[in-house]
Amino acid sequence: MITLSVPARLPARRYLAGAIVAAWVLGHALLAGRDTLALGGAELTPLHEGVNEAWDTVDDNRNSNPFFLYFVNYIRLILDESVKFVQALISQPSFGRPVPVLGWLGVVALAAAVTYIFGNIRVALLTVAGFVSFGLLGLWAESMDTLALTLTAVAYSLAVGIPLGVWAGLSGRFNRFVTPVLDFMQTMPTFVYLAPLTLFFLIGPASATIATMIYAIPPAIRITAHAIREVSPVTLEASSSLGATSAQSLRHVRLPLARRTIVVGVNQTIMAALSMATIAALIDAPGLGKTVLKALQTLDIGAAFNAGLAIVIMAVVLDRATTAASHRVETQRRTGRLRSVFFRRVEVAVALGIAAVLGYLSYTYVWAAEFPAGANIGSYVRRAADAASVWVQDSLSGFTDALKNVITYGLLNPFESLLAGSPWWLVFAVGVGMAALVGGTRAAIIAAAGLAALIGLGLWQDSMVTLAATLVATILVMALGVATGVWIGRSDRADAVLRPVLDAGQTMPAFVYLVPILGLFGPTRFTAIIAAVVFAAPVAIKLVAEGIRGVPPATVEAARSAGSSSWQLITKVQLPMARGAVALAANQGLIYVLSMVVVGGLVGAGALGYDVVAGFSQHQLRGKGLAAGLAIVVLGIVLDRARVRPRPERTDSG
Amino acid sequence: MKDQPVLDVRGLWKVFGPKPERAVGSTLSRQELKERTGCVAAVRDVSFTVRPGEVFVVMGLSGSGKSTLVRCLTRLVEPTAGEILFDGADIRQADERRLRELRRHRLAMVFQHFGLLPHRCVLDNVAYGLEIRGSARPERYKRAREVLELVGLTGFENSYPDQLSGGMQQRVGLARALAVDPDLLLFDEPFSALDPLIRREMQNEIIRLHHEVGKTMVFITHDLSEALKLGDRILIMRDGALVQMGTPDEVVGAPADDYVRDFVSDVPRSHVLTLRWIMREALPDEPLDGPELAPDLVIREAVHTVLSADRPVRVVREGELLGVVTSAEILEMIAR
């Protein structure tokens, strides 16, 4: 008989990985608790103290150092004043008046007019309903603060993002330069740049605006660049064959053809900005986020739910309005002007006229300026949410406790003790070995550097605890993602039902998830994990579903005609062929989970998340908080880079 | 013959790849060149002239370099070597501004996939070339309306491109090119994306327009029957190089090599060749009082006369007897 020698690379790798894990478990059993580099909650390393001192130095010289005096402080001033100006218009008493310039009636009318002009009558009505509900929930001023911060950040983001996006769309070189920067901005967990920002711009609107911009600019640049680049080369060639300059081609061809996609970018930018504007409550940004944050810290479910509801409503209104605007652009493009120019002008004039009249009323009369206190149903909502939470916790406790215990004892505790309870050198060796197995030498180097950085930051054990929670959450995300993704990918009906839910889930600001989950499970690290899972699951599910749908129908048909059962079809054809998408889903899921670590710190998860949050509130812990933020970034980089990259290469033509 | 050529292309090369200059002048085959230098010569050493008022067709299969060639003419693709004399001045030497002026006033191009602006109505599409060269709105709309009438699109001024059929969209593309009143019209496979019936209709449209406005045209196609139908002269390209250049009957009657012969083998020769190609010397004893025909008459049109005559038909130009044709030659040609 002839024995063929099959290249045994894969199985060998698998055995090696198994051997490493076995050695790890054995080592843990023998050496648990030794060399774990634990650091107590209030303990500091010299590095943290050094950061504290440096920070104090910055504080002392804020108004004398020329870099601050002539650069940083000006930016701070401009941003602060911008936000304050919008606040003066719609949310805060201003210009010596006890009320803002535009009262509630004026704001509602203006918002309706704008959404009507750029969208349609349906979103205008939705906008009216949404804005009135802010008042009804008793959160008018807070909502307007959030809106002011969001709109200011969006205005600056678009002012920076669209021109840069156009540039990146036109210049391949600039695009190659900016893409990794945007990658970094987007993979960086959202909370970690809050602390360094406050170092430069203090807490308050300026830092909040910049944090929001960091989060909101990448989609603006990316989508604009994509839109500019995707403009049909045939049309461009025709234009230049007629002697158009590049400026003329940009103005007459590229920008008009890219407009619809750019509006989609505006939508993404607005949603990202709203999400971050609420999170920026951690650095004292005004608005609904602060209300939620306060409520979370005092475990006041009712108040948190009430404010969370307002955030959701604002997200829905902003999302629908900008989506309607992009549809309008599309229909205009398809069918020409819908009506005559004259009719359109009358329409716009009437809408703005009504808004102006109502705005004047709200400027002049108290009843139109302050939302009527009698119409406040916020207290009912709060009490109802409280009651519901209590009822759910009482009556579902059997179920929720079981779930909590299974995951805590079955997954979380073993992981945590293995990672955080083993000697650091053992975990270090395991991590580098695994990275080398999965991603080769480069991955191993990155892993070694990253893990060394964690030790250097003095937060080894906290990092390991966070890593354990992150891995557990990612496992849950992938279980959910693969199961649901396969279902959606195979069933049109499931797709029709679940996709809007997932879309909605993705547009919601991250904060909002915590509230109902906190209501269900109370403040524990388990709550943080579930919140992260809920936050990360939609993107993972969608990616897996895309992958399943991407399997060629001919292949599926062939497998079916060969007599595969559904299970065989899924496990032997569809999932293997969607491997790239599944790997990408795992990667994205991980990044999303990691970005919820800090939020988890608010509701009972300890470790790095708690360190960051504590750094915001306690003076002597801010150095440690900064280090913890860095540790999260390091974890993100190690997890993101130390693996095989499944992303398909983009072929760039032209 | 006629006066100075409109376009005089000399030794044109376009090489894609690293250090393209190295490949210029190479005689290696395309494959060898690719292996040796990593370069692809899309156009290699092509020379031709286009006379005023002529329809000059460049024909070749896909990948033969014909689309690259036409783009080199207006430098949408930058040539690697050679000269492109347009009214005596080398387009390759023109700076950016001068090139733009040429494109705005003297050359216009019609594209295979139309390249219309989807967000503009037909009128604004046609006026686009005038707009970017800075003519005022009433003026350019007036001109655009004239041209739309010329191509038979009156009444569609306010439609948008995606409301029109493919043939009508290409009429818009044609009108856009005509609107700037160019000296030379370039067509890059303008009808390849259209279905056969519309294609024939558009070809007739081109013939009609050529009669009416008398523009000089360079027409790219991969369709031999289109080339024969439209072309005063045809240039056949293969792998970037010129294979043969001549009038339709020269190409069909005297193919330069097996490649061209294979190409034209399906063409009904009697539709293309003229009496010149089949006439023979009169035999000494033949009667020379038969009907008279011109040597440029296409054979198909002479069939009836020749077959119904009871004696040889004389082929005469300006009173001079060039030869004779009898039913034997006609039948042999048709039977081939």
Closest CA to B124 of B110, B104, B144: B144
Do residues A327 and A404 share a domain? no
Do residues B292 and B243 share a domain? no
> What is the arithmetic mean of pLDDT over B14-20?
87
Contacts of A205 (CB under 8 A, 6+ apart): A79, A80, A83, A84, A149, A285, A286
Q: Note down the domain range covering A537.
A: 396-420+462-618+627-641
Residue of A nearest to B119 (CA): A333
Q: How far is CA A290 from CA A201, A425, A511, B222, in A?
A: 19, 42, 11, 69
Radius of gyration of chain B (CA): 23
Residue A643, pLDDT score: 56
Residue of B nearest to A241 (CA): B103
Q: How far apart are the C-alpha atoms of B71 and B84, rounded to whole Å?
A: 12
Q: pLDDT band for A4, please (50, 70, 90 cuts).
A: very low
Within a domain: B251: yes
Provide, as residue numbers in chain A, all residues whose Cβ is less than 8 Å from the Cβ of B99: 243
A102-112 pLDDT tens trace? 888 889 999 99
Residue A8, pLDDT score: 44
> What is the arithmetic mean of pLDDT over A145-166?
94
Handedness of CA A556, A560, A562, A568 (dihedral sign): positive
Residue A596, pLDDT score: 80
Q: How far apart are the C-alpha atoms of A163 and A538, rounded to whole Å?
A: 31
Q: pLDDT band for B336, please (50, 70, 90 cuts).
A: low
Contacts of A146 (CB under 8 A, 6+ apart): A274, A277, A278, A286, A287, A288, A289, A311, A314
Within a domain: B3: no
Q: Note down the domain range covering B161.
A: 50-79+96-267
Q: Would you call A354 helix, strand, or coil by DSSP? A: helix
Tell me whether residues A235 and B116 touch, CB distance under 8 A.
yes
Structure tokens at B290: 């038969």
Do residues A335 and A416 share a domain? no
The burial class, CB within 10 Å (0-12 / 13-18 / 19+), for A293 is buried
Do residues A334 and A415 share a domain? no
Q: How far apart are the C-alpha atoms of A339 and A361, rounded to whole Å?
A: 32
ipTM over 0.85: no
Do residues A372 and A415 share a domain? no
Provide, as residue numbers in chain A, all residues whose Cβ is less than 8 Å from the Cβ of B119: 256-257, 259, 332-333
* Cβ-defined contacts of A424-433 (< 8 Å, 24+): A424/A35, A424/A36, A424/A37, A424/A455, A424/A460, A425/A35, A426/A24, A426/A27, A426/A28, A426/A31, A427/A24, A427/A451, A427/A464, A428/A452, A428/A455, A430/A20, A430/A21, A430/A23, A430/A24, A431/A638, A433/A20
At residue A645, does pLDDT exceed 50?
Answer: no
Asked if residue A569 lies in contact with residue A559, where contact means CB atoms within 8 angstroms, the answer is yes
Closest CA to A36 of A434, A446, A459: A459
Provide, as residue numbers in chain B, all residues whose Cβ is less than 8 Å from the Cβ of A239: 115, 117, 128, 132
Strand intervals (E) in A20-133: none
A261-319 pLDDT tens trace? 888 889 889 988 998 888 888 888 888 989 988 888 787 888 888 888 899 899 889 98
Q: Which of B267, B288, B322 is the last residue of a domain?
A: B267
Interface-testing mutation among A232, A242, A337, with chain B (most B C-beta atoms within 10 A): A242
Q: How many domains does chain A have?
A: 2
> What is the arithmetic mean of pLDDT over B214-233?
90
Q: Are strands B55-59 and B216-221 parallel, antiparallel or unpaired?
A: parallel
Do residues B250 and B280 share a domain? no
Residues written for chain B: 336
Q: How far is CA A594 from CA A196, A414, A527, B102, in A?
A: 18, 20, 15, 59
Looking at residue A282, the DSSP 8-state letter turns out to be G
Instruction: Write the DSSP assignment of A455-488 as a string of letters.
Output: HHTT-HHHHHHHHHHHHHHHHHHHHHHHHHHHHH
Provide, as residue numbers in chain B, all residues whose Cβ is less than 8 Å from the Cβ of A241: 74, 76, 103, 107-109, 111
Contacts of B285 (CB under 8 A, 6+ apart): none
Within a domain: A603: yes
Q: Which of B213, B245, B267 is the last residue of a domain?
A: B267
Residue A336, pLDDT score: 52
Closest CA to B59 of B203, B215, B260, B198: B260
Residue of A nearest to B122 (CA): A336
A75-98 pLDDT tens trace? 888 998 898 888 888 888 878 788
> What is the arithmetic mean of pLDDT over A354-360?
88
Do residues A115 and A209 share a domain? yes
Do residues A401 and A368 share a domain? no
Cα distance from A646 to chain B (closest Cα, Å)?
30
> What is the arithmetic mean of pLDDT over A430-436?
86
Handedness of CA B172, B176, B181, B187 (dihedral sign): negative
Do residues A474 and A382 share a domain? no
* H and E: helices and strands count for chain A: 32, 0
Cβ neighbours of A213 (radius 10 Å): 26
Do residues A370 and A468 share a domain? no
Handedness of CA A421, A425, A431, A437 (dihedral sign): negative
Cα distance from B252 to chain A (closest Cα, Å)?
34
Share of chain B above pLDDT 90, in %: 27
Q: Which of B267, B286, B304 is the last residue of a domain?
A: B267
